Structure 1
Amino acid sequence: MLKTILLATALLAPGLAAAQQASSPGPTLATVRARGALSCGISTGDPAWSQPDSRGVWQGMDTDVCRAIAAAVLGSAEKVVWQHLTGQNRFPALGSGQVEVLTRTTTWTFARDSMLGLNFTAPNFYDGQGFLVHAESGITSSRQLDGATICFVSASTHELNLQDWSRSQGIRFTPVIFADKDEARRAYESNRCDSYTGDASQLAAVRSAFPEPARHVLLPERISKEPYAPSVRQGDDQWFDIVRYVMFGLVEAEELGITRANADRMLAESPSPAVQRLLGKTGDLGPTLGLDRAWMLNAIKAVGNYGEIYERHLGKGSPVGLPRGLNDLWTRGGLMVSPPMR
């Protein structure tokens, strides 16, 4: 029996060693390096996800994912070219090569994954479609929206979700459809519609940006599941793995207690094999992807771990104030988990 195990190990070892050798740049990685910047698809302006701050610097969950990828690939979170995309042009922009990665609040669905020539990488947020209403309406449940006028954005999952929900609940509504989120928000704010529907996190962010947030209520029901994930073009497995494992690495960093502030100290002092591998002190995680060993160290130092990104833009200390819920670590009852980084 022992001879059998030793023989199997001997046969397996060369394959593992070959798999861990540094990878040469694939087409997308080569393009990004030649340009010296990552072309990243984000929104035209979406509070908490991608929106310019008072200095004109784009901030949000989506922008920080882009910065993490740029830091991992190019060593700097500043080497990003922002491409501001709508619901209509986001997928053509990715397919044509205008962007290397689409992080713009996009739900992972069967049809999108199988029919549009793209691959979703790793979930970075779990959401669900909800309804925002005017507090003065007295509406406290989506069941009270029968006969209502409802605003939403086209080229999204929201229209089909609404149709499924209305049929299952026996509720009639009048749709008011817009091409842009800002148009839909302004229409709702000016009382052109009774409710504005969209993913709940985005509605909460929109509500927080109103002059008087208390005059608007986010109803408790969710009528769909909306997992967000950065997406890349099909056909370049190396680039798919890079984007996927940057996302997983941010989650792993939170689980291991690695933060923006302590990453260098953890690299120098932590005895944990998992910390040493993730930060590049041991192992060849980065070179296996065609990157250097400091890929995740650079990403974490640029934007922090997943929990830090969440708290900065959506968490209790932010204007949005969303609890972690499903977006907490698996060790605390959430869905955020990384495969073993080894």
Structure 2
Amino acid sequence: MNKSVFFGALTVAGLAAGAAAASTLDDVKARGKLNCGVTTGLAGFAAPNANGEWEGFDVAVCRAVAAAVLGDPAAVEFIPTTGKTRFTALASGEIDFLARNTTWTFSRDVDLKFDFIGVNYYDGQGFMVPKELGVSSAKDLDGATVCIQTGTTTELNLADFFRNNNISYEPVPVETNAEGQQQYLAGACDTYTTDASGLAATRATFENPGEHIILPEIISKEPLGPLVRHGDNDWGDVTRWVLYALIAAEELGVTSANVEEMTTNTTNPEVARLLGTEGTLGEMLGLEADWAKKAIASQGNYGEIFAKNIGEETPIGLARGLNAQWTDGGLMYAPPFR
């Protein structure tokens, strides 16, 4: 969610060219810590817990990268970013990796000079309203006030949807999800719009979540995923294949609970290559042979990460849907480890 569009495109592109000149992989190893950009706080995805420790679906990807590269999932500095600041933070080198429910779009990939390493959540934009408003469809929102985060693709999608349906709205701009939630609950807007997963995460934190509904319309495609700077292919390869390792592990039946046993007892050649007991995949990445094993052991596979942070048994309550494995009718699909 919070997806910036064309914000400071030229400045960001210029920053990215300089920041990628050095090897981020070497920098992270020398520093002994991964600087990971996250949201300012979204339950289930990235937020500090009661002890001040960051946790969530996106946070787990950061920790998996740190485990693979540094052997320590705790060797991460989490840097909160807003919809407006995230791209400058990545382009300037302030962060090594942005794992912050960011939508993969043409302009961000090409114009802002970033590389999306994959999709970790397939989403779409929706609308949340109080039940008492008596609205059952987004098409009933003619003349509504709409809380919307600035510097995001959400703004453009909203304008397109209302124009296509020949209805009007009044935007109520907010900077962060916390501000959006506050304004919405205070009645400053009739509806809050962002990615449907973000709406579910936000609603789960309400005192009375049952008093609010998410309308049925999904008005956009929002492939969310982590990203790195253009021009640093080695680092892009490392982070991309860590994400794919988590996805492949679920398909192959490798979990945080059985990864040790699978390392020594598997008869599946792809599992052996994934876990580093066969082949030289780690060496090709400039990592230890057991890089993927460390990531999986520390965070679990993709399915475990989903279930723990945002799945149906959590307050967020998201079904797998499009984010199921391809073998179960979803879109999660890792290229072969060979």
Tell me the TM-score normalized by structure 1: 0.92
Equivalent position SS for 2:84: coil
User: 1: distance between equivalents of 2:174 and 2:142?
Assistant: 21
Q: CA deviation at 1:46?
A: 0.9
User: Counterpart in 1 of 2:26?
Assistant: 30
Q: CA deviation at 1:170?
A: 1.0
User: Counterpart in 2 of 1:44?
Assistant: 40
User: Counterpart in 2 of 1:320?
Assistant: 316
User: 2: distance between equivalents of 1:103 and 1:324?
Assistant: 20
Offset from partner CA, 1:98-140 (integer Å, 9 cap, x none): 0110001100000110011211111100000000000111111
**After superposition, where does 1:271-290 map in structure 2 within 5 Å?**
271-290=267-286
User: Counterpart in 2 of 1:185?
Assistant: 181
User: Counterpart in 2 of 1:174?
Assistant: 170
Larger radius of gyration: 1
1:73 pairs with 2:87? no
Q: CA deviation at 1:210?
A: 0.3
Q: CA deviation at 1:53?
A: 1.2
RMSD: 0.8
User: Counterpart in 1 of 2:205?
Assistant: 209
Equivalent position SS for 1:104: coil
Q: Which amino acid aligns with 1:163?
A: A
1:118 pairs with 2:114? yes
Equivalent position SS for 2:145: strand
The runs of 5 or more residues in structure 2 that have no matched partner are 1-21
After TM superposition, where is structure 1 displaced by more than 3 Å over at least 4 residues in a row? none
Tell me the TM-score normalized by structure 2: 0.93
User: Counterpart in 2 of 1:56?
Assistant: 52
Offset from partner CA, 1:267-323 (integer Å, 9 cap, x none): 011111011010000011111010011000000001000000001111111111111
User: 2: distance between equivalents of 1:136 and 1:59?
Assistant: 33
Offset from partner CA, 1:126-172 (integer Å, 9 cap, x none): 00000000011111111111111010100111110011111111111
Q: Which amino acid aligns with 1:82?
A: F
Q: Which amino acid aligns with 1:224?
A: S
User: 2: distance between equivalents of 1:123 and 1:284?
Assistant: 26
Offset from partner CA, 1:160-219 (integer Å, 9 cap, x none): 001111111111111111112211110001111000000000000100110000011011
Q: Which amino acid aligns with 2:318?
A: L
Q: Which amino acid aligns with 1:192?
A: A
**After superposition, where does 1:3-18 map in structure 2 within 5 Å?**
none
Residue identity over aligned pairs, in percent, reads: 49
User: 1: distance between equivalents of 2:311 and 2:153?
Assistant: 25
The runs of 5 or more residues in structure 1 that have no matched partner are 1-25
User: Counterpart in 2 of 1:149?
Assistant: 145
Q: CA deviation at 1:44?
A: 1.1
User: 2: distance between equivalents of 1:322 and 1:149?
Assistant: 27
1:226 pairs with 2:222? yes
